[in-house]
Amino acid sequence: MSTGLIIAIVVIVLILLALAVMLPRMRANNARRQAERELHSRRERAVGEHRSEAAEREATAADRDGDGHTADDRARDATTGEDRTDYDRGREDERRLDRERITDDVRESERR
């Protein structure tokens, strides 16, 4: 064999070895970049959803007048006294249950 042919074979073998080492790294880098792009797109989608929800909440808040009451609050205030007391009793029951639930949660957490 000639010297030139041996050198050519050695160069080709070195190139193939370099490719064998580099290809897995390149694939891993491409997979990482793809995962980052996907994460970025998910974050953008979540940000868009949160912004739209915030805009809806802001629009709802805009329905309130200067003292913070909505038209529903005003209509509820205009009901007869008997209906209003039923409403108030229901609200008090809800508040009491919420306080009991919070108290139970605190007690449960203290036991742990």
pLDDT at residue number 5: 93
Contacts of 87 (CB under 8 A, 6+ apart): 76, 79
Q: In whole angstroms, give the CA distance from residue 63 to residue 56.
A: 11
pLDDT at residue number 97: 79
User: Does the predicted model carry a pTM greater than 0.75?
Assistant: no
Q: In whole angstroms, give the CA distance from residue 34 to residue 22.
A: 18
Mean pLDDT, the chain cut into blocks of 10 residues (112 residues total): 91 95 94 96 94 83 64 68 68 80 74 68
pLDDT at residue number 67: 64
